[in-house]
Amino acid sequence: MKSRFVVFFMGTLFMAPVQAERADRDKPVHLEADRATVQDANKLATFTGNVVLTQGTLVIRADKMTVKEDASGFQYATAFGNLATFRQKRDGMDEYIEGWSERMEYDGKADKVQLFKKARLKRGQDEVHGDYIAYDATNEFFQVTSNNNGTSSTQTNADGRVRAVIQPKKKEQRPKDEGQ
C-alpha cells in the first residue's frame, strides 16, 4: 500500500500566533560540547558530547551537532540525539516553544526548525506528535506530517498518525452588570 501523509496546519491549532523572539537573530551563537572538530576552510564544525547551542532565547541540545556557516554569516545546524531538543521564547510573551526529535535541522537564515523521527512540539499545554514537524518562526507556520502506512518511526505513534492535544482557551469573564 502506498504511503499516505497527513498534513495539519498548526496555525489553526494554536489559536494565538506563534512567533520566535525577534531579537534572537541579532545575538551571537554560543556552542558548548565535550569535543569539537573544525574545518575552517569549509566553515564546518562538528560538536560531540553534551552539545548546547544558544542564540538569545533559542537553546538546542544534542548528542552531536554539525554547524555550517554561509558566506553571509548565517548558521545552519543539524543536531542528533536521543532526543535532541530545542526551546525558544515567543516574541513579546512569557511563553516558550519546545521541541524534541531524533534529528533536528536549524536554519538560522530562515528562522526555521525541522524535527525528524519521534518529533514532538509543545507550546504551553498544547502539543503535537508526528514523524516530521516543521516550525517556521518567521511566517508563524507549523506543519506536522506522519507516515500513515502503519510503519511509523515514532514510538508514541505506532499507528503512524499525527497526534495533537489542544487545551481549551480560557474565556474572558464579563462583569456582572454587563448585559443586564
Task: Tell me the pLDDT tens digit for each residue of 128-177.
Answer: 899 999 988 777 677 888 876 544 444 445 567 887 777 787 766 555 55
Q: Round to whole Å and give the CA distance between 161 and 6.
A: 7
Predicted pLDDT at 141: 79
Predicted pLDDT at 133: 93
Task: Give Dmax (Cα) for the chain.
Answer: 74
Dihedral angle of Cα 42, 39, 49, 63, to the nearest 10 degrees: 10
Assign residue 84 a region: left if phi > 0, alpha if psi is -120 to 50, beta otherwise?
A: beta
What pTM, to 2 d.p., does this model score? 0.72
H runs (alpha helix) in 115-165? none
Predicted pLDDT at 35: 97
Predicted pLDDT at 175: 58
Return the HEC string of 51-73: EEEEECCEEEEEEEEEEEECCCC
Structural domains in the chain? Answer: 5-165 (2.60.450.10)
Q: Round to whole Å and give the CA distance between 153 and 116.
A: 10
Provide the grid cell at 71.
558566506
Give the residue ranges of the chain where pLDDT is below 70. Answer: 1-23, 140, 148-159, 171-180
Q: In 3-state terms, what secondary structure has residue 26?
A: helix
Q: Round to whole Å and give the CA distance between 39 and 64.
A: 16
